[in-house]
Amino acid sequence: MSYATRFAPSPTGPLHLGHAYSAMLAFDRAKAMGGTFHLRIEDTDFDRCREEWVALIDEDLRWLGLDWPKPPLRQSDHLERYARSLYRLIAIGLVYPCSCTRADIAAAATAPQEGATYGPIYPGTCRGRPMSSRRQGDALRLDIAQAVARIGPVAFTESGGVRKAARHTYLPETLVETAGDIVLARKGSGIVSYFFASALDDAHQSITEVVRGEDLFDFTAVQVLLLVLLGLPVPAYHHHRLIRDAAGKRLAKRDDARAISKFRAEGATPADIRRMVGLPAGTAPRSGAPRV
């Protein structure tokens, strides 16, 4: 299988230097390996996604010198495909409806949860509810204890980046303790969650290496669990360093001062952007954590 990776932004604001680094790093790795760089638009947050941001993503990336098969995959066009995978998990008895609010979950978390990496661990209030009891407005959760009992340890390969090249293995009890019964479909809309859709798309697009920020590393084990449950291929992962400001804070979309479009309007060149984020002019990634 030939190398393939992707850059998968959500069109909820302008791309900043952190996005530029991630996209260019993925593009460079694809180019160096004679593979394919894909653009994916993760636009299922219908309240926040805007077409003007989709257009700006295209403009910014083309200005940076990146290219990809067109048209890019847009998640809003694939809701039925996501639903089919969700129904497969429902059919094997791994999903249940949940009516709990965030306040309900916080109130039930009476003890510190130091091992939690996905936020407060769901206390299991609705676990055991049959799908026949599902009401409009319910979220859908994965019974993670039942899921890991089916497949055992979850393993994936980290191909480099901040975690170095290594094989990571998560025991079933570790996932139960650190992830809990994650939400697979959002409350009310029924649209599958971000990390579920993202994993499904990696398989759909035959992605062989997921290049993304280290802040998403903790999602990986659950994404791999879902892929294995569905009999889908598991890619390698490359979690890279984050681009931070002078105070060491991770850049965010609300930080418009570092938007790619702003630098472009002020006369910067793509080579300037590469220098700012610590990427060489060639295709080989470089270590370090620049402050911008």
Mean confidence (pLDDT) of the chain: 90
pLDDT confidence bin for 188, thresholds 50/70/90:
confident
- Tell me: do 26 and 138 sit in the same domain: no
Q: Choose one of 147, 167, 200: the last residue of a domain.
A: 200
3-state secondary structure 36-47: EEEEEECCCCCC
Q: What is the pLDDT of residue 107?
A: 75
Is 214 contained in some domain?
Answer: no
Q: How many CA atoms lie within 13 A of 115 on its CB side?
A: 9
- Tell me: do 107 and 66 sit in the same domain: no
What is the arithmetic mean of pLDDT over 74-93? 97
Per-residue pLDDT at 254 exceeds 90:
no
Q: What total of structural domains would you count in the chain?
A: 2
Is 39 contained in some domain?
Answer: yes
- For residue 80, what are its two tokens? 């039925």
- pTM value? 0.89
Q: Walk across the sheet containing 183-185 and list its strands.
A: 95-98, 139-142, 183-185
Q: What is the CATH number of the domain that holds 171?
A: 3.90.800.10
Q: What is the CATH number of the domain that holds 34?
A: 3.40.50.620
Higher confidence at residue 248 or residue 77?
77
- Tell me: do 99 and 193 sit in the same domain: yes
Determine what percent of the chain falls in helix, strand and coil, rounding each to the nearest 5. Answer: 40, 20, 45
Per-residue pLDDT at 8 exceeds 50:
yes
Higher confidence at residue 249 or residue 75?
75
DSSP string, 98-123: E---HHHHHHH--S--TT-SSSSPP-
CA distance 278 to 250: 15
- Write the DSSP symbol of residue 158: E
Query: Can you give the residue range of the structural domain that contains 69?
Result: 1-77+243-292
Distances (CA, A) of 259 to 58, 189, 193, 251, 252: 14, 31, 27, 10, 10
Q: Choose one of 174, 200, 226: the last residue of a domain.
A: 200
Is 42 contained in some domain?
Answer: yes
- Tell me: do 83 and 196 sit in the same domain: yes
Q: What is the pLDDT of residue 91?
A: 97
Contact 228, 234 (CB under 8 A): yes
What is the arithmetic mean of pLDDT over 123-140? 94
Q: What is the pLDDT of residue 286?
A: 39
What is the arithmetic mean of pLDDT over 154-180? 94
